[in-house]
Amino acid sequence: MSFNIRLSCLWIHRYTGLAMAAFLIIAGITGTLLAFHEELDDVFNHKLAQVDVQDTSHLPIAVLHDRVVSAYPEHNFSSMPTSIAADRSAVFSVDRARGKAAQNQPKAPFQEVYVNPYDGNIIGTRDKDQWALHNTMWKVFWLHRDLLLGDIGKWILGIVSVVWTVNCFIGFYLTFPRALKKKNLQKKSSSKKRASFLKRWLPAWKIRTKSNLFKLNYDLHHAFGLWLWGMLFVIAWSSVGFNLQQVYRPIMQAVVGLEGRGEKQEKSNKPREKVGQTANAGRAARIDATKGKALNNEAGNVDTIDVNAMDIVSKANSIAYLSEQADIAAKNKGLTVRELLGIRWVEDEGQWQLRFKTDKDIGKKGGASSITVNARTGSVERVNFGYQNSSFGSKADQWLSTLHMGHISQGIGHVLYQIFLALIGLAVTVLSITGVYLWWKGRQQRLKALQKGR
């Protein structure tokens, strides 16, 4: 009996698809909802997240941050938002303890504090681990990420994602027109010329409207898989990256040259480009001049000000100062700052760090840019442009995760991509359901054939 590669691929596709169906249906439905995570979260969490718009202006973000720090002195809040919408609360996140600090520090009873930006009153706190209506979208997220099973769930979904990725290629191959046997091919060639491969493949891309239920499911399964193949592969393979780095990273290193963890760490430790040196020199001169005045006053027995005790960049002016420096640094590179992503205080270094996205950056996570400023002197310590400091492999990795999470574009472009991503989630669900249906109908036919053969 000769080996038939098509029948073998069909068997693998059929039964691995059947084994994955429940997981992919869960991932597809939750993924559709998560395409609008922030919008839906605001709906479920509206009592904390939304405020009535008032005629007065917002209090400064630094003032709101002070209110939170005063109310919860036992927790650290090193980060701040860079802007607040007119109808939204100001949200401050509790610092997450990592490493040894996480073992010694008790877990905070909440992760977020919501503040009314108009009067500074604390609206409430949010514990995302709690089973409550306002946490609905976070439960959906964790169901999507790890089936609400923690590390075990991530392992399960990681394995499913690997099988799904392989199945993308098997399924694509199975849409090809079947090769004729030698005898049939000789008869066909003797009668008339055979149609081209593309012409014979074209029906697989179409959905017959006037057909029975079986043919409709068959066409949906084939056509959706073909038309959306590229995006389905991106979602499948990026899911491996999120859940099973042991498989993802070596393959990405071999195929696109993704840096290993050691290489990435070594590169991140290299001194980054310093910018705005002229402006920094001017500020240093002004500081030295002020010190000179203080020394002269001291010689004349006049009251002096300890300039060294004053920070040039304080919490009150940090957002404005760093955003200005980010604009200067970006313009020097011919870039435009598209969005400010957040600012944080690095206490050990005495520095402020602003994350932002330029017009050349990929996404809002690992592909974003950052600028770090010395609080005491106001000097720019380093600027990391996301697009510039990434190798081809890193950019490929960033694109995969960004496309998966929907961090694409702004405004109407972002909304359109959200809709597209939601439709991809529905397509994954449809492919899984139609696949199960086709297996079930095929099984019925096979059982009938066995009964007739007895």
Instruction: Considering only residues 330 and 409, tell me which one the structure prediction assigns the higher pLDDT.
Output: 330
Which tokens go with 454? 């007895």
Confidence band (pLDDT; 50, 70, 90) for 421? very high
Looking at residue 103, what is its pLDDT?
Answer: 61
pLDDT at position 299: 38
Q: In this predicted model, what pLDDT tens digit does every residue of 111-130 receive, in sequence order? A: 999 999 999 999 999 999 99
Q: Which two tokens stand for residue 133?
A: 């209506």
Instruction: Give the span between the Cα atoms of 309 and 61, in whole angstroms.
Output: 23
User: What mean pLDDT comes out for the span 44-63?
Assistant: 96
pLDDT value at 305 more than 70: no
Q: What burial letters (b/e) apply to 305-328, b meaning 16+ CB within 10 Å?
A: eeeeeeebbebebbbebbbebbeb
Are 249 and 375 in the same domain? Answer: no
Integer Cα distance of 9 and 288 in angstroms:
75
With beta carbons less than 8 A apart as the criterion, state whether 148 and 128 touch: no
Phi, psi (rounded to 5 degrees) for 421: -65, -40
141 inside domain: no
Judgement on whether residues 441 and 292 belong to the same structural domain of the protein: no
Q: How would residue 190 be classed by pLDDT, with cut points 50, 70 and 90?
A: low
Tokens of 282: 């001017």
The two structure tokens encoding residue 430 = 């449809």
CA distances from 160 to 18, 30, 151, 165, 290 (A): 11, 16, 14, 9, 65
Q: Residue range 431-446: average pLDDT?
A: 93
Both 232 and 319 in a single domain? no
Q: Are residues 283 and 380 in the same domain?
A: yes
391 pLDDT band, cuts 50/70/90, is: confident
Neighbours of 92 (CB within 10 A): 24
> Is the domain of 112 the same as that of 249?
no
**Least confident among 241-255, 303-317, 325-339, 409-423:** 303-317
Could you tell me the pLDDT band of residue 338, with boundaries at 50, 70 and 90?
very high
Q: Is the pLDDT of residue 19 over 70?
A: yes
Structurally, how many domains does the chain consist of? 3
Q: What is the mean pLDDT of residues 164-188?
A: 81
Length of the chain: 454
Which pLDDT belongs to residue 185?
Answer: 52
Rounded CA-CA distance 330/340 in Å is: 13
pLDDT band, very low/low/confident/very high, at 301 (cuts 50, 70, 90): very low
Q: So what's the pLDDT on residue 178?
A: 85
| Mean pLDDT (whole number) for 38-43 | 96
Same domain (yes/no): 68, 6: no
Residue 92 pLDDT: 98
Amino acid letter for position 229: W
Q: Dump pLDDT digits (tens) for 362-378.
A: 988 878 999 999 999 99
Residues forming a β-bridge with 115: 90, 122
Q: In which band, very low, low, confident or very high, does the pLDDT at 195 lie, cut at 50, 70 and 90?
A: confident
Q: Looking at the domain assignment, is residue 93 inside a domain?
A: yes
pLDDT over threshold 90, residue 336: yes
28 and 50 together in one domain: no
Q: Measured between alpha carbons, how far is 315 from 350 in angstroms, rounded to an integer?
A: 12
- Give the model's pLDDT for residue 97: 77
Reading the block at residue 105, the tokens are: 């520090």
Q: Is 323 helix (H, G, I), strand (E, B) or coil?
A: helix
What does the radius of gyration of the chain's CA atoms come to, in whole angstroms? 29
For residues 261 and 408, which has the higher predicted lDDT (pLDDT)? Answer: 408
Q: Do residues 361 and 302 both lie within one domain? A: yes
Percent of the chain surpassing pLDDT 70: 83
The answer to whether residue 193 scores a pLDDT higher than 90 is no
In a domain, 398, yes or no: no
- Do residues 156 and 238 both lie within one domain? yes
Residue 374 lies in a domain: yes
Residue 425 confidence (pLDDT): 97
Q: What is the pLDDT of residue 4?
A: 87
pLDDT at 18 (0 to 100): 96
192 pLDDT more than 90: no
Confidence of residue 181 (pLDDT cuts 50, 70, 90): low
Q: How many CB atoms lie within 10 A of CB 180?
A: 13
Please indicate whether residue 372 or residue 4 has the higher confidence score (pLDDT): 372
Contact in structure between 83 and 57 (CB atoms under 8 Å): no
Does residue 277 sit in the same domain as residue 346? yes
Whether residue 267 is predicted with pLDDT greater than 70 in this model: the reply is no
Whether residues 27 and 158 share a domain: the answer is yes
* Chain centroid, CA 346 distance in Å: 24
- Give domain status of residue 372, yes or no: yes
Domain that holds residue 68: 46-130
Structure confidence at residue 451 (pLDDT): 81
420-429: average pLDDT: 97
pLDDT of residue 9: 95
396 within some domain: no
Question: Tens of pLDDT along 207-234?
Answer: 988 889 999 999 999 999 999 999 999 9
What is the mean predicted confidence (pLDDT) over 74-94?
Answer: 96
Tell me whether residue 136 is in a domain. Answer: no
**Same domain (yes/no): 222, 320:** no
Between CA 198 and CA 183 the distance in angstroms is: 22
Which pLDDT value is given to residue 449?
82
Mean pLDDT over all residues of the chain? 87
Instruction: Output the pLDDT for position 266.
Output: 53
Establish if 92 belongs to a structural domain.
yes
Tokens of 180: 């004729």
pTM of this prediction? 0.85
Inform me whether the pLDDT recorded for 300 exceeds 70. Answer: no
